[in-house]
Amino acid sequence: AQKITQTQPGMFVQEKEAVTLDCTYDTSDPSYGLFWYKQPSSGEMIFLIYQGSYDQQNATEGRYSLNFQKARKSANLVISASQLGDSAMYFCAMRDQMNSGNTPLVFGKGTRLSVIA
Partner 1 sequence: DTGVSQDPRHKITKRGQNVTFRCDPISEHNRLYWYRQTLGQGPEFLTYFQNEAQLEKSRLLSDRFSAERPKGSFSTLEIQRTEQGDSAMYLCASSPRLGGIDTQYFGPGTRLTVL
Residues forming the site for partner 1 (CB under 8 A):
4, 33, 35, 37, 42-47, 50, 52, 91, 93, 95, 98, 101-102, 104-110
Residue 15 or 61: which CB sits closer to partner 1?
61
CB 95, min distance to partner 1, A: 7
CB 79, min distance to partner 1, A: 19
Amino acid sitting at position 70: K
Provide DSSP, 42-105.
T---EEEEEEETT-SS--EETTEEEEEETTTTEEEEEE-S--GGG-EEEEEEEEE-TTT-----
Q: Determine the Cα–Cα distance for residues 66 and 104; give it in Å rounded to an integer.
A: 21
Spatial CA neighbour of 4 closest among 97, 78, 74, 89: 74
CB 80, min distance to partner 1, A: 22
Residue 75 or 106: which CB sits closer to partner 1?
106
Maximum Cα interatomic distance, the chain, rounded to a whole number of Å: 45
Residue 33 or 68: which CB sits closer to partner 1?
33
CB 82, min distance to partner 1, A: 22
Residue 30 or 52: which CB sits closer to partner 1?
52
